Structure 1
Amino acid sequence: MSEASGERPRVEIWTDGGCKPNPGPGGWGALLVCRGQEKELLGGDPETTNNRMELTAAAEALEALKRPCIVTLHTDSEYLRNGITRWHTGWVRRKWRNAAGDPVANMDLWQRILEAAKPHEIDWLWVKGHSGDENNERVDQLATRGREEL
């Protein structure tokens, strides 16, 4: 996922995660596409939640980038998109407490994503799940494989 020139590579990322049942065994999947090259990532956790798998997929995808990139990250998780584009600034300001004053759920993964995102310029796009987006369907299958291969 690199380019020969000094310009930042443009990378398209699709991520997904899920559990069956929730909570329970879960999997995550990610697809990275740069200049026609593709990289698939997947993994799982024997005891987790849908939200943790969604966040793990994004963290793993961003951590796989070897240099600063211009990224478009596609997710069907409103939790991920809202957390990273709207809620996290308040959490940080409140020392990782939510609006009710409780500790932020999945703080470890939110912090991991924020750290992994630092070198990149990222556009976080929400896509409707199971609506015909070929790459969203593909990462859904990767997430299922990640869970099944535990």
Structure 2
Amino acid sequence: MEEPQPLVFIYADESCLGNQYKDRARPGGAAGLLEFWHPRKGWVRRDYWTSEPDTTNNRMAIRSATIPLAALKQPSRVVFTSDSRYLVDGMTQWVHGWSARGWKRKDGEIENLELWKALMPVAGRHEVQWRWVKGHAGHPQNEYANYLATRSASRQDQSGGLVDSKFDDWIREEQEKERYLSFFALPPDKFEFKPSRRPPTR
């Protein structure tokens, strides 16, 4: 019997500062937390983030997925959680129709087409369960991803790939402020993985 592929959890978010403006640059960030369970070490976590000097939330949402999926060294089962409907609906619904129509929409050009096409082969290496979570609703990993994305948008910096995570320090500080007190880092023993439909290959 084949060993199951590694089970990886990714929590991603994006930020665009000054979305309300059209006459000035809108710096943005994309970031996230990647974690997996190691039988001896427990949860192993990595952070990532990137930025653009003038961008949109939608662009950064796509980049928040491309970076960690490309960084995984082997095909994996990935539970990808984001509060971006644009990203989750895009990957579970829209890309299949766009591909069938020759990468065109019924009513015009596809926004961020080059980024969607870059994400397809990267996501296609893995089995991905795309999950949407409501933003700013008390989900600790999502809130942490938001913190990283907002910080990268403000600083205009990049992690340069996956780096050691500061999530443990962050959640400890938050719980000292009596936030996220129900969060416990339990192993994913009973997690039921349900992969979404694989993205098109062309």
Residue in 2 aligned with 1:99?
106
Asked if 1:19 corresponds to 2:40, the answer is no
How far has the Cα of 1:6 moved from its partner?
4.7
Residue in 2 aligned with 1:142?
148
How far has the Cα of 1:131 moved from its partner?
0.2
Residue in 1 aligned with 2:79?
72
Please tell me the residue identity of whatever aligns with 2:131: L
Asked if 1:82 corresponds to 2:89, the answer is yes
Q: Distance in 2 between matches of 1:77 and 1:26?
A: 15
Q: Distance in 1 between matches of 2:110 and 2:91?
A: 13
State how many pairs are aligned: 145
Aligned residue among 89, 109, 118 for 2:115: 109
Q: Is the 8 A contact 1:10 1:34 kept in 2?
A: yes
Q: Which runs of 5+ in 1 are unaligned?
A: none
In terms of Rg, which structure is larger?
2
Residue in 1 aligned with 2:40?
none
Q: Which runs of 5+ in 2 are unaligned?
A: 38-42, 157-202
Please tell me the residue identity of whatever aligns with 1:46: P
Residue in 1 aligned with 2:125?
119
Bigger share in strand: 1
How far has the Cα of 1:94 moved from its partner?
1.3
Aligned residue for 2:54, secondary structure, equals: strand
Residue in 2 aligned with 1:10?
7
Query: Counterparts of 1:31-42 in structure 2 under 5 Å?
Result: 31-35=33-37, 36-42=43-49
Q: Is the 8 A contact 1:42 1:145 kept in 2?
A: no
Q: Distance in 2 between matches of 1:70 and 1:119?
A: 10
Q: State the TM-score, normalizing by the size of structure 1.
A: 0.92
What's the RMSD between the two structures over aligned residues?
Answer: 1.3
Q: State the TM-score, normalizing by the size of structure 2.
A: 0.69
Q: Distance in 2 between matches of 1:110 and 1:31?
A: 21
Aligned residue among 52, 56, 81 for 2:59: 52
